[in-house]
Amino acid sequence: MTTREDCLSRDRADPLAAKRALFTLPENLIYLDGNSLGALPRNVAKRVAETIDRQWGATLIKSWNEHDWFDLPRKIGDRIAKLIGAPSASVVACDTISVNLYKLLGAAIHLRPDRRVILSDSGNFPTDLYMMQGLIRLLDRDLELRLVDPEHVDAAITEDVAVVSLTEVDYRTGRRHDMKRLTEKAHAAGALMIWDLAHSAGALPVDLAGCKADFAVGCTYKYLNGGPGAPAFLYVRPDLQDHIESPLSGWWGHAAPFAFDTDYRPAQGIVRQQCGTQAILAIAALDSALDVWDDVDLAELRRKSEALCELFIAEVESRNAKHGVTLAGPRDIRERGSHVSFHCPEGYAVMQALIAQDVIGDFRAPDIIRFGITPLYTRFVDIWDAAAILTRILDQRLWDDPRFRARKAVT
Ligand SMILES: *Cc1c(COP(=O)(O)O)cnc(C)c1O
């Protein structure tokens, strides 16, 4: 049995411990929801204020050139590329995951005109599936969304599949797909592969180049701490960049946006995937939020993530099996991402009771309580305390209160 003292000493020995001071975190709050909205890095407020006062306020429209606003999405793309095993000039920060996925799906479908299946799994995040459904309706040419259980993706990659579109880490259970193996399988069948890295970027090492993925998308407001609604990102394998067309052919992806031609002519390279003007204040916030990653060893990050997840699983299970709390997703830590979820009877009310005691996780229907483990600012002692508080809530039925059952709009 691990003691609270053990956790305090593990925190003292933690090579990433100093990172926590780079974030603004309310005192006494145990924040285990950085997989939904990352914490605020301290340097962001100053950078955004400067962008407002010294750039927008002082140099107005000249800022697009003088402060490099126009190139920021691409430059930030290069910073993100380092965190996901992608070469420079293969990533751009823009739009949302939903929009970026749509662009890449549209491009991929065009590259495989003789095939009629988009393959995904039932564990994928709903917006990904909704975007596939919308594109299929729009194209109106007998395309099919084939949805299978995550365990059966492998067998479903057949020669009629145009594109396989999957999320590496399941947003509910934390189950992780084998990117390399599935990408190889897709390629062997002649299909293209799109990875959604929403719960991977900043959570664990990713090797897009190594696994030869064709395309990827991901978001920056989760583990990358870019702030609410921060721009997402998109990756295109370098040799494909000039051979695909975005279905959202806006002027920021034009070869000469300021020539104002009446006809669309795509730019070369990754900027072809941009669409329209980006939210520069949000981009500035993201750029400064990424500073905390400059010297992070992702292998170290993963080691800490695994240790924190294992501790939480052990503490919660050993104390709460009697309450029907069971681990969601695989038990082997190597097959998991960086969040831990449990099936929990009355899970919604239990999570509300936890939040009332300053332990913040979230609830995912139908019965999952979910805890994001963000190794840059989560301590071993936080994990230990969160497990103890959850146990108290269950042992004393503190969740059994009408105010904890009333559903809010965002869970
Ligand atoms: C969070 C998340 C999204 C969010 O998509 P947006 O369009 O950026 O809101 C998409 N896909 C997955 C897998 C996610 O976890």
pLDDT tens-digit readout, 65-85: 999 999 999 999 999 999 999
pLDDT at 408: 83
- Mean pLDDT of all residues belonging to the chain: 97
User: Which residues 6+ apart lie within 8 Å of 198 measured at CB?
Assistant: 97, 125, 167, 169, 171, 217, 218, 219, 222
Q: Is 125 a catalytic residue?
A: yes
CA 285 to ligand 1 center in whole angstroms: 19
Identify the residue whose tokens are 């190594």: 210
Q: Among the options 78, 112, 125, 385, which is catalytic?
A: 125
Identify the residue whose C-alpha is closest to ligand 1 atom 10. Answer: 97
**In testing the pocket of ligand 1, which one of 171, 221, 339 has its CB within 8 Å of the most ligand atoms?**
171
Using the predicted structure, report yes or no on whether residue 36 has a pLDDT greater than 90.
Answer: yes
Q: Among the options 222, 237, 304, 319, which is catalytic?
A: 222
Identify the residue whose C-alpha is closest to ligand 1 atom 14. Answer: 198
CA 127 to ligand 1 center in whole angstroms: 7
Q: What b/e sequence results for 159-173 when a residue is b if at least 16 CB atoms lie within 10 Å of its CB, and e otherwise?
A: ebbbbbbbbbbbbbb
- The string of pLDDT tens digits covering residues 332-377 is 999 999 999 999 999 999 999 999 999 999 999 999 999 999 999 9
What distance lies between CA 319 and its chain's CA centroid?
30
**In testing the pocket of ligand 1, which one of 127, 169, 220, 368 has its CB within 8 Å of the most ligand atoms?**
127
Beta-strand relationship, 233-236 and 215-218: antiparallel
Q: Is the CB of 127 under 6 A from ligand 1?
A: yes
- Residue 369 backbone phi and psi in degrees, to 5: -100, 130
CA 363 to ligand 1 center in whole angstroms: 16
Q: Among the options 370, 377, 380, 404, which is catalytic?
A: 370
Contact 41, 289 (CB under 8 A): yes
CA 258 to ligand 1 center in whole angstroms: 32
Identify the residue whose C-alpha is closest to ligand 1 atom 4. Answer: 97
pLDDT at 243: 97
Q: Is 221 a catalytic residue?
A: yes
What is the Cα–Cα distance from 146 to 159, expressed in whole angstroms? 13
Q: Is the CB of 380 under 6 A from ligand 1?
A: no
pLDDT at 406: 87
Q: Is the CB of 171 under 6 A from ligand 1?
A: yes
- Cα 44 to Cα 24, 47, 81, 283, distances in angstroms: 10, 5, 20, 11
What is the Cα–Cα distance from 237 to 192, expressed in whole angstroms? 11
CA 257 to ligand 1 center in whole angstroms: 29
What SS3 state is found at 266? strand
Percent of the chain with pLDDT over 70: 100
CA 216 to ligand 1 center in whole angstroms: 12
CA 352 to ligand 1 center in whole angstroms: 23
Identify the residue whose C-alpha is closest to ligand 1 atom 5. Answer: 97
Q: Is 370 a catalytic residue?
A: yes
Helix (H) or strand (E) holding 303: helix 298-320
What pTM value is reported for the model? 0.97
Identify the residue whose C-alpha is closest to ligand 1 atom 2. Answer: 198
DSSP bridge partners of 147: 120
What is the Cα–Cα distance from 150 to 77, expressed in whole angstroms? 30
CA-based nearest residue to 15, from 225, 292, 301: 301
Retrieve residue 223's tokens. Answer: 């583990």
- The string of pLDDT tens digits covering residues 193-250 is 999 999 999 999 999 999 999 999 999 999 999 999 999 999 999 999 999 999 999 9
CA 98 to ligand 1 center in whole angstroms: 7
- Residue 200 backbone phi and psi in degrees, to 5: -120, -45
Percent of the chain with pLDDT over 90: 98
What distance lies between CA 107 and its chain's CA centroid?
22
pLDDT at 411: 79
Apex CA 131: angle with CA 201 and CA 78, to 5°? Answer: 30
Using the predicted structure, report yes or no on whether residue 317 has a pLDDT greater than 90.
Answer: yes
Q: Among the options 14, 95, 121, 196, which is catalytic?
A: 196
Using the predicted structure, report yes or no on whether residue 146 has a pLDDT greater than 90.
Answer: yes
Q: Is 102 a catalytic residue?
A: no
Q: Is the CB of 167 under 6 A from ligand 1?
A: yes
Beta-strand relationship, 91-93 and 233-236: antiparallel
Q: Is the CB of 232 under 6 A from ligand 1?
A: yes
- Work out which ligand 1 atom sits closest to the CA atom of 232: 8
